[in-house]
Each structure stands twice: as C-alpha cells, then as structure tokens.
Structure 1
Amino acid sequence: MTSLIYNIYCDESCHLENDNIPVMVLGGVYCRAQEVRRISRAIGDLKRHHGLAPDFEVKWTKVSQGKVDFYQDLIAMFLRDDALHFRGVLIPDKGALDHERFGQNHDEWYYKMYYTMLRYVFAAPNRYRVYLDLKDTRGGRKARHLHEVLCNSLYDFGHETVERVQQVRSHESALLQLTDLLIGAIAYENRGLAGSTAKTALIADLKAALGPGALSQTSAFQNRKFNLLRWRANEVRQ
C-alpha cells in the first residue's frame, strides 16, 4: 500500500493550568502535504477579495463585525474543501482534573491529551508532519518531547510514522491560523459566551453545516471532516 504524507497544524486554547478558565481545547487542521500550497493560496485569494492585506493574520480574537463576511467565507471554504479535515479535543472543565491521583503533572497530562487528539488521525502506512504554534521559549523543548511521546505511544521508534514535530510561526501558516479560528469557536461556544454577534454568526454557520452539537459533543467516529472528542476526567482509559 502506498503511503501518503499529511501535515497537521495544531494549536490549543485556554491550556494553562491556572488561567481561571475551565474550558480547554486542543485541535488540528490536517491535509495531504501536497495540498498545502493550493489551500494557502486560496486563503490568500480570499483575503485579497475582501480587501485584506496578504499578511493579515486570521485569529479568533480578531473576528469582528467589520470582517465577518471574510471569516464566514473562510469557514465556508473549509467546509466545502474535501482535502481539509479537523480533529479536536474539548476538555469542558480543567477544574475536575486530579493530577496527583494519576501520578502526573499538568504538562504530562497535556502531552497525553495531544496523543489522544492525534491518534485518531494517524493511520498506517501514512506519514505525518506535526506543526505547532510557536508561543514561547519553551516551545522547542515541548515540540521535541511531544515527538518522543507520540512516537513511543505508536511504537514508532524510527520516526517512520510521525516524521517530525516542529514549531512554526502562526503568521507564516494559513492552515495554523485556520486551526486557531476553529478551536476559538469551540472554546467560545463551550464557555457560554455570546457578546460578539460576528463570533456567534460563525458558530451558527458551523452548526448549520455540521449539526447543532458539533462544537460541544463527541462526534461519530466516522466523521473525518470535523471530529471532536468531548473528554471527561474519568475517561483516562479511553
């Protein structure tokens, strides 16, 4: 069987242990590596169509009424492009975690959650390149350790399945920016926020296309376009 190479662009929202926000989301947009240039170019074309600069960075925090048409078109592009897929894990209440009980700290649990998210995507004999948003000076160590965790969990000691885990700057990756947008929508929905009409419009578009519970409930396993796991603290053996 011929192997394919996939790129996975990963990010997280509200992931800090003591940020006073109960909800946490991990997510990744993925596609075949050969599709990245085409999709990135299409997103650039969409920016130009809406009068935005080529280097305008797509971010959930930047969604506003003045740019809502652009963001809605971007969501529509994601939904109709069969090459694009999303996988996410929603942790609805970080306060329910009991790291001491399971002999771990928050960082160790964080890596386990990344594996929980990505193992759904991995399928032999395909190969994968994982890209993380560069956030701080600890990022290089985090990327190396995540690569080790993923490969060990998959018995991929030769790095034949997970070829690389590396950081990229979000402003340089249109697909990483798309990940930020989707996980932002999930976090916003599950925090019960409704102060932005533009953001609620994007959420309504996603629900209309994917189903009313798509941003808050566990997806059917076969859903590969948009697949979400709603993780609970007592599901550590899942």
Structure 2
Amino acid sequence: MNFEIYCDEALPDLFTSLRPRARYLMIGSLWLPSEMRDEAKARISEVRERHAVWGELKWTKISPSKQAFYEELVDVFMSFGMDMRFRCIAVDREQVNLALHQNDGELGFYKFYYQLLHHWILDFNEYRIFCDLKTNRDRKRLHDLKRCLRYSNLSATIAEIQSLPSPEVTLLQLCDVLLGAASSRINETLGVGTAKEAVVRRLEERLNRRQIGPTSRTEEKFNVFKIRLSGGW
C-alpha cells in the first residue's frame, strides 16, 4: 500500500533554549493511505463550511468561538478509524545529553524524528513524508533523514521526504491540532475550563481514555511514545 505521513513539531528548539517553555519536545505524525487524502480534505472542508472557519487550523487558534468546530474536527479524525492514525514522540529535555549528538541540538532533533517514523514503517509499503516547513542550519537534514530511513527499512519504499508550508496543507494543520492536544497533557499546560480543554476532553472521550498520556507500543490509533533515553519503551 501507499501511505502519506504529515509531520509537525512543538518546541523544536527546546534542547538549546536558554529559557525553555516546557519540559518535553514533541514531534507528531498523521498517517493515512494515499488514496484517502482527497476524502479527508473534503471532509475537513465540509466542517469548515458548516462552522464558517477559514484560514490555517492550529492548536494555538482554538478559542471559545471555535470550540465546536475543533471538537468536530476531532470527530473527523476519529471517523476514519484505523485508516487515519496519529503517532507522536515526547522527549524529555532534562534527559537529553547533547554530547551524544555532537553537541548539535538540531542533529538530536532529527534523530528523534527518525525514532518517531521508523517504528511504524512496515515492509512492502511505500511512504511519502511531508514535514512542516522549518529553517534548518544544515540544509541536508531531510536528505539525511530519508537516507537513514531507507537503510533501516530495506523492504519498504521511502519515496519522498519533503517540507511544505503548513498554511497550504490541511493535513499538516490537522496534525498540529492533534499534537497540540497531546503536548498540552504531556507538558501539563492545559488550562482548566478553557476551549482547549474541551477539545482535548472530546478527543479523550472518543479514544475512550481517561487522559491522554504515554501508550503501549501496540497502540495504533493515537500513539504517544514517551521515549526513555536510558532504554526501553
């Protein structure tokens, strides 16, 4: 099968920031069969029209006036069942030893990007990966990520890794919203009684979870990989 993966990140400079705003760096990914892309975009467009919400969809834009819209966006994600899945990785900045990454926070960031993607790539499938546009100090980062994924998944095809501007890509925007929900729980930044809390609770109810948090390796719909840098899951 052919799959597309849409990726976004939260706090990508956390490893090197002098004033970190959170403890966990988060990278998220939205996975779906390529043949379902147009249907997914059409379903989101229908919800946009119903609620008259235009512009870029973002976790940071959730407000009381748009709460119902974002709750329905959660319903769209859930309605695709296992044909649309989400996986994110949470990296504790307090456990990161940059000496193991050549004292290069950007290199460390892309190593964790690799960990996010590698474990869900299956033999004999083809993957196209789309990342939110990000300015890198080393312009070869995506090329190196593609090369590493190819070498470690010889029976799969990594056809493309490309960066795209999220304001122009609806499914990157959906990934941003889902990642924001996960990050707000992992980083404990969710305000009580806010529209964002209502959206997160809608997602938790639909997932049948008391609260979003680290999951088992086998969780397929909404997988949260809180990596243990000392080893293990």
Pairwise same-fold verdict (TM > 0.5):
yes
AA of the residue aligned to 1:199: K
Q: Partner residue of 1:48?
A: 49
Give 1:181's aligned residue: 177
SS for the counterpart of 1:100 is: helix
1:183-209 C-alpha deviation (Å, 9 max, x unpaired): 111111122223361111111112222
Q: What SS class does the counterpart of residue 125 from structure 1 fall into?
A: coil
Which amino acid is 1:89 matched to?
I
Task: Name the CA distance, whole Å, in 2 between partners of 1:175 and 1:67.
Answer: 18
**Alignment match, 2:199:** 202
Is 1:59 paired with 2:55? no
Aligned to 1:134: 133
Please state whether the residue corresponding to 2:140 is helix, strand or coil: helix
* Structure 1 contact 111–149 (Cα < 8 Å) conserved: no
- Flag structure 1 segments of 5+ consecutive residues without an equivalent: none
Q: Report the equivalent of 1:18.
A: 16
What per-residue deviation string (whole Å, max 9, x for no partner) do you get for residues 145-197 of structure 1? 221222223247xxx61111001111121111011001111111122223361
Change (3 A) 1:75 1:34: same
Worse overlay, 101-110 or 140-149: 101-110
CA distance in 2, matches of 1:85, 1:35: 12
Distance in 2 (CA, whole Å) between partners of 1:70 and 1:50 is 6
Match of residue 28 from structure 2: 27
The answer (yes or no) to whether the contact 2:101–2:108 under 8 Å persists in 1 is no
CA contact (8 A) 1:207 1:213 kept: yes
Root-mean-square deviation over aligned CA pairs: 2.1
CA contact (8 A) 2:98 2:105 kept: yes
Aligned partner of residue 216 in structure 1, secondary structure: coil
How far apart are 1:123 and its partner, in Å?
0.6
- Indicate the percent of aligned positions where both proteins have the same amino acid: 27
Could you tell me how far apart the structure 2 residues matched to 1:232 and 1:63 are? 31
Q: Deviations over 1:87-131 (max 9, x none)?
A: 11112x212211225756322322221121112321110000000
Q: Aligned AA for 2:85?
A: H
Q: Identify unmatched segments of 5+ residues in structure 2.
A: none
Contact map agreement 1:140 1:166 (CA 8 A) in 2: no
Residues 14-73 of structure 1 show CA distances to partners (whole Å, capped at 9, x for unaligned) of: 1212331211111100101111011111101110000123xx211001011110000000
Q: Does 1:39 align with 2:37?
A: no
Determine the C-alpha separation between the residues in 2 that align with 1:152 and 1:120: 13
Once residues 133 and 219 of structure 1 are traced to their aligned partners in structure 2, the CA distance between those partners, rounded to angstroms, is 27
The AA in structure 2 aligned to 1:114 is Y
The alignment's TM-score, normalised by the length of structure 2, stands at: 0.89
Determine the C-alpha separation between the residues in 1 that align with 2:123 and 2:85. 18
Contact 2:57/2:177, CA 8 A, preserved across alignment = yes
